Structure 1
Amino acid sequence: MANPATLRNLVTRYETLRSTHARLGTPESRRQLEDVSYTLCVTTGTRAVPDALAAAAARLHAVPSAASPGPADVQLTA
Structure 2
Amino acid sequence: MSQRLHPADPDHPWLGRRFSAGWGTHGELEYHHVRPDLVAEFLADSAVDEGVYRHPVRFRRLRDDLPAGQVQPFAD
Whether TM exceeds 0.5 here: the answer is no
Of Structure 1 and Structure 2, which has the larger fraction of its residues in strand?
2
Of Structure 1 and Structure 2, which has the larger fraction of its residues in helix?
1
Q: TM-score, normalised by structure 2?
A: 0.20
Larger radius of gyration: 1
* Structure with greater contact order relative to length (CA < 8 Å, sep ≥ 6): 1
